Amino acid sequence: MRKRLLTIGVLTAALATSLALAAVATATGGNRFHAQLRGPNEVPAAPASNRGSVEVTLKPATGKVCWEFTIAKIDGKPTAAHIHKGKPGASGPVYIAFGTTFKRQGCTTAPKSKISAVAAKPSAFYVNVHNLKHLGGAMRGQLRADL
């Protein structure tokens, strides 16, 4: 009996935590994610000096994706940036493009199903920045949830 009550208590606490996190995401207008961008994370690897970060906000209810890049160093002018589907060490297809040219910050629209997929399992996706020296990507990082 005591074990059953303990299990119910743990499940209730987990549910309350999940609801609180969902309320925070709703209050801030979406789900926030980040990635540390590094050149050696690319396939093939780009220079180790290429580095930066990105904050991504996903809003499945409205179909919006917003971002803000901080580029510490890159060996050429950024030309494009995307969310790709792929695990660390593997190249994957563009999943959500951040516009047609690189912008340090902005918003775009995407299918709600794609936004929900990224929000549900961010570690299965990465963000990268491209330039003319590294058409496949100058720096990259896996998405992680902000808490």
Per DSSP, the residues of 51-111 read: EEEEEEEEETTTTEEEEEEEEEE-SS-EEEEEEEE--TTS---EEEES-SS--SEEEEE--
Cα separation, 138 vs 140, in Å, equals: 7
Can you give the pLDDT at residue 30?
73
Compute the average pLDDT of residues 104-128: 97
* Domain contains 110: yes
CA 17 to chain centroid: 22
**Residue at 109 is within a domain:** yes
19 domain-assigned: no
In a domain? residue 7: no
How many domains are contained in the chain?
A: 1
Model confidence at 56, in pLDDT bands (50, 70, 90)? very high
Task: Report d(CA 33, CA 87) in Å as an integer.
Answer: 16
Domain that holds residue 126: 30-145
Is 16 contained in some domain?
no
Confidence of residue 2 (pLDDT cuts 50, 70, 90): low
Q: Tell me, yes or no, whether 5 lies in a domain.
A: no
Question: Looking at residues 97-122, what average pLDDT do you find?
Answer: 97
**Domain holding 106: CATH number?**
2.60.40
Q: Does 99 reside within a domain?
A: yes
Any domain includes 92: yes
